[in-house]
């Protein structure tokens, strides 16, 4: 065992470091830039696009035309490039936010001398001297503890724990033993001496940090749904291609003279049919979908950053819209992580000056110039209470000359200070556990009333302090004053870590949105339930079935917990890995889980949840494990992120509806044109313009739509839900059928000899049908007609204007490049007016639904 007075020798330090390693945490493995970039190609739609691109490349070599191939590859690299850049940019910002320092000086005893060494050089066996305000550098056992209080909130959620070496005062229900201190916790009062037992990754802090870097294999809801969509598109495209190939073969042999043709002609025609079939697959693939998803996610990343929410992983923006459960810690997330006086009950009248002087002088805490507490948080709460009443505690403390002082200890359970007061005379001020202080008083009010008030505060999970004073003119120290001076009980103060102002409303909004909220904390059951009551989570109808302690949770099997886990609202006395297990069990029950937390204890759960939300003031380990960092520590930002996520998903659905409508039209026209002998009367350059509208412009327009609070009135979508809803299917097929009838009708009207003027009109009608259908896509699933929902949609209308101007320029001055001739103003008015019926029919339907709901 290490000699506390001599510490380790230099030789012992070297041996210990060789045996147990350095006091460093293994850093989280960073993905290389190449790995980050190629990761973007795992998107299911990107994969099907790659197949389409290489098929198109094959067609290009045969026909010596590569425009379509270039367009698809551009769409692929634009989508993956944008996604890569935004995640890389977020990673750089995060690294600046999350920088740590392993060179913090630590006081140790070595070779019989006290010296300071960097935290990373601490080894097992070192004797470390702990003082108020310092962070514990490693895990160890206490050998001295004088009035020692430690902030364990980073590991257990508890902001103030008494530590002692006296077994008689051990807290047997504490999360960690009372004579042990752990890396990452902070001394807030007193001092002590510890012998290091674990360093680096072997510490509790290190174990939790390790779990926070384990790769989670949980797929995001959006990826699952895009995967299903890509399979549907792939199957539909292949089925249509096979159908077309067979139809063309039958047509060729029965009506095309292939039965009498030679083998070379047959081979050439079969290859031509195959190319038409492959073209159908290429046309069926929505190459703009990855761009739309990426742009939507990127826009949301920027919006959230402007509100102090740093998104590290792009898909987390959308996944927030799919969450069904939020597991949150208490301290620093639901509460302010600062002790404040909730209420005071002073029973003596006419002694306000004595009460204020007693609070100011009988204290070891301070307030800095910004009002931040330095020292014991409970004593700091009393100083903040004085400040809120306009009292300068420093002036009162300076005016009262301290004769003697007894600091608070777990054995004594009170603090006493003897002062020469400017009020006249020598006074003894005492504060501490109310029952202890009350029993020392000769004069007190109705004891039954005081005890009833104490019970009421304690049922509300508040810390209580009792105050007393006595006139002790002849006493020379606190011990003498306590023995011979009669004390008068003044009253009590209830102190708590108050709930953040915005939390109850944010929790209420989440509950209304169908999202379950669960508190997971290292605090006591009474405190956890009281906080749950204050935020509107724990109600009179809840029973013990809705609450569990960490010990009981660990004792139950997964099978037993799976039956109960969804009903749980509060887990108290939780250890770090309990939260992670809870997340895993909820996911097994089909829940999409978000976890909030600011401590190292939250890191494993933050990592394994579908979305981890860390606080900006949290530990580096918590932030490293999270997907989103709430820089303003605001729980209300979670509800806002859910709204944005749901709105983003709605925008993606709008784009899918818009593009698949056009894809169905294009596929059917190509199919019918190939089978019945007519080709689509659109050139490659015209199709590139159409694709630009369908992909980039539509993605920009629909991704820029603002979020809507109305989505918070809906229940979360299920992970099993398909991205294309029945309403979308009806809209896609109905609108596509209308477009096909119009376009085929125009071709039939023009006859076999189509003039350049007619082709220009056909091209313009094709584009304007898409133009007006974008309004219907915007209005999909909206609770209001478009006339009521234009606010904040300036980018949408700007893109529409760009499309209209672009089409006019191409038709008027495109010439041979776009195979167009100018149209007359009457033609423009006729085409714009007639195609606008697409929007007006949709708007009339939306208006009827809107007023029907209002009447209902």
Name the residues annotated as catalytic.
329
Q: Which helix (H) or strand (E) element contains residue 316?
A: helix 316-319
Residue 128 near residue 106, CB atoms below 8 Å: yes
Residue 808 near residue 767, CB atoms below 8 Å: no
What whole-number distance in Å separates Cα of residue 284 and Cα of residue 229?
12
Residue 612 near residue 220, CB atoms below 8 Å: no
Residue 602 near residue 595, CB atoms below 8 Å: yes
Long-range CB pairs of 40-43, under 8 A, 24+ apart, other chains included: 40/79, 40/80, 40/83, 40/84, 41/80, 43/79, 43/80, 43/223, 43/226, 43/290, 43/293
What whole-number distance in Å separates Cα of residue 807 and Cα of residue 830?
15
The secondary structure of residue 28, as a DSSP letter, is P
3-state SS track over 738-793: HHHHHHHHHHHHHCCCCCHHHHHHHHHHHHHHHHHHHHHHHHCCCCCCHHHCCCCC
Let me know the angle formed at the C-alpha of 689 by 688 and 695, rounded to the nearest 5 degrees.
Answer: 85
**Pick from 522, 531, 363: nearest CA to 462:** 531
What whole-number distance in Å separates Cα of residue 603 and Cα of residue 175?
17
What whole-number distance in Å separates Cα of residue 304 and Cα of residue 640?
9
Return all residues near 742 (Cβ < 8 A) that are at least 6 apart.
Answer: 765, 769
Q: Which helix (H) or strand (E) element contains residue 283?
A: helix 263-284
Strands (E), 598-701: 611-615, 628-630
Helix, coil or strand: residue 424:
coil
What whole-number distance in Å separates Cα of residue 782 and Cα of residue 845?
12
Farthest-apart Cα atoms in the chain, separation: 131
Q: Which helix (H) or strand (E) element contains residue 572?
A: strand 570-572
Hey, what's the torsion of the CAs at 49, 54, 59, 62, to 10 degrees?
170
What whole-number distance in Å separates Cα of residue 334 and Cα of residue 137?
28
Burial 652-691 (b: 16+ CB within 10 A, else e): bbbbbbbbbbbbbbbbbbbbbbbeeeeebbbbebbbebbb
What whole-number distance in Å separates Cα of residue 47 and Cα of residue 705?
27
The secondary structure of residue 176, as a DSSP letter, is S
H-type alpha helices, 417-486: 434-439, 447-459, 478-484
Q: Which residue has the tokens 């020598």?
A: 426
Q: Which residue has the tokens 């001076």?
A: 485
Token pair of 707, please?
A: 């979020």
Let me know the angle formed at the C-alpha of 70 by 67 and 71, rounded to the nearest 5 degrees.
Answer: 85
Burial 414-423 (b: 16+ CB within 10 A, else e): bbbbbbebee
What whole-number distance in Å separates Cα of residue 169 and Cα of residue 411?
7
**Pick from 527, 638, 520: nearest CA to 581:** 520
Q: Which helix (H) or strand (E) element contains residue 309?
A: strand 309-311
Q: Which residues pair with 684 in a beta bridge?
A: none
Q: Which residue has the tokens 């509100």?
A: 307
């Amino acid at each position: 065992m290490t000699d506390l007075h001599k510490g380790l020798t230099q030789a012992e330090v070297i041996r210990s470091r060789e045996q147990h390693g350095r006091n460093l945490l293994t850093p989280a493995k960073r993905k290389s830039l190449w790995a980050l970039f190629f990761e973007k190609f795992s998107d299911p739609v990107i994969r099907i696009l790659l197949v389409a691109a290489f098929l198109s490349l094959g067609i290009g070599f045969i026909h010596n035309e590569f425009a379509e191939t270039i367009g698809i590859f551009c769409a692929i690299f634009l989508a993956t490039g944008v996604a890569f850049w935004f995640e890389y940019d977020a990673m750089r910002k995060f690294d600046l936010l999350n920088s740590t320092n392993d060179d913090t000086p630590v006081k140790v005893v070595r070779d019989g001398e006290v010296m300071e060494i960097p935290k990373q050089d601490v080894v097992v066996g070192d004797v470390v001297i702990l003082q108020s305000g310092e962070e514990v550098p490693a895990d160890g056992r206490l050998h001295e503890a004088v009035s020692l209080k430690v902030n364990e909130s980073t590991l257990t959620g508890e902001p103030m724990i008494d530590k002692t070496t006296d077994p008689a005062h051990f807290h047997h229900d504490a999360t960690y033993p009372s004579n042990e201190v752990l890396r990452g916790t902070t001394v807030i009062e007193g001092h002590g001496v510890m012998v290091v037992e674990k360093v680096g990754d072997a510490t509790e802090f290190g174990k939790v940090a390790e779990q926070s870097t384990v790769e989670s294999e949980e797929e995001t809801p959006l990826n699952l749904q895009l995967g299903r969509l890509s399979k549907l598109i792939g199957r539909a495209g292949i089925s249509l291609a096979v159908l077309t190939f067979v139809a063309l073969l039958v047509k060729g042999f029965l009506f095309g003279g292939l039965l009498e043709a030679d083998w070379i002609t047959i081979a050439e025609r079969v290859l031509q049919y195959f190319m038409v079939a492959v073209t159908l697959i290429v046309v069926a693939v929505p190459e703009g979908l990855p761009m739309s998803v990426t742009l939507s996610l990127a826009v949301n990343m920027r919006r959230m950053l402007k509100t102090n929410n740093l998104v590290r992983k792009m898909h987390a923006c959308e996944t927030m819209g799919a969450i069904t459960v939020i597991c949150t810690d208490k301290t620093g997330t639901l509460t302010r992580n600062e002790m404040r006086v909730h209420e005071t009950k002073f029973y003596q009248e006419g002694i306000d000056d004595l009460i204020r002087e007693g609070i100011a002088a009988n204290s070891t805490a301070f307030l800095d110039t910004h009002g931040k507490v330095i020292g014991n948080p409970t004593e700091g709460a009393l100083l903040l209470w004085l400040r809120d009443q306009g009292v300068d505690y420093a002036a009162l403390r300076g005016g009262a000359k301290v004769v003697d002082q007894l600091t608070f200890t777990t054995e004594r359970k009170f603090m006493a200070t003897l002062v020469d007061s400017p009020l006249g005379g020598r006074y003894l001020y005492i504060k501490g556990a109310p029952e202890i202080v009350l029993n020392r008083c000769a004069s007190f009010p109705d004891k039954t009333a005081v005890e009833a008030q104490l019970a009421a505060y304690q049922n509300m999970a508040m810390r209580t302090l009792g105050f007393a004073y006595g006139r002790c003119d002849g006493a020379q120290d606190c011990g003498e004053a306590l023995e011979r001076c009669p004390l008068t009980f003044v009253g009590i103060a209830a102190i708590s870590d108050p709930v953040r102002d915005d939390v109850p409303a944010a929790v209420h909004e989440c509950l209304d949105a169908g999202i379950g909220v669960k508190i997971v904390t290292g605090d006591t059951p009474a405190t956890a339930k009281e906080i749950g009551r204050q935020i509107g989570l724990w109600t009179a109808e809840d029973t013990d079935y809705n609450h569990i302690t960490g010990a009981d949770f660990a004792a139950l099997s997964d099978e037993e917990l799976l039956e109960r886990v969804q009903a749980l609202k509060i887990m108290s006395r939780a250890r770090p890995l309990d939260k992670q297990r809870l997340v895993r069990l909820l996911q097994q029950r089909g829940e999409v889980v978000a976890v909030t937390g600011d401590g190292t204890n939250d890191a494993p759960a933050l990592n394994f949840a579908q979305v981890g939300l860390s606080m900006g003031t949290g530990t580096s380990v918590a932030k490293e494990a999270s997907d989103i960092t709430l820089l303003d520590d605001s729980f209300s930002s979670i509800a806002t992120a859910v709204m944005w996520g749901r709105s983003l998903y709605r925008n993606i659905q709008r784009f899918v509806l818009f593009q698949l409508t056009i894809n169905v039209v294009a596929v059917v026209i190509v199919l019918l044109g190939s089978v019945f002998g007519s080709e689509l009367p659109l050139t490659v350059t015209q199709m590139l313009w159409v694709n630009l509208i369908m992909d980039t412009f539509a993605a920009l327009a629909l991704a820029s739509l603002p979020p809507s609070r109305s989505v918070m009135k809906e229940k979360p979508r299920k992970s099993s839900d398909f991205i294309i809803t029945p309403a979308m299917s009806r809209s896609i097929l109905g609108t596509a059928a209308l477009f096909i009838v119009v376009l085929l009708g125009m071709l039939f009207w023009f006859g076999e000899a189509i003039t350049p003027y007619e082709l220009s009109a056909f091209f313009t009608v094709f584009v304007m049908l898409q133009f007006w259908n974008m309004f219907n896509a915007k209005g999909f699933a909206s609770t209001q007609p478009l006339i009521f929902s234009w606010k904040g949609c300036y980018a949408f209308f700007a893109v529409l204007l760009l499309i209209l101007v672009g089409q006019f320029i191409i038709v008027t001055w495109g010439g041979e490049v776009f195979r167009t001739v100018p149209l007359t103003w009457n033609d423009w008015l006729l085409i714009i007016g007639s195609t606008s019926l697409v929007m007006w029919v949709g708007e009339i339907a939306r208006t009827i639904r809107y007023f029907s709901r209002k009447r209902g």
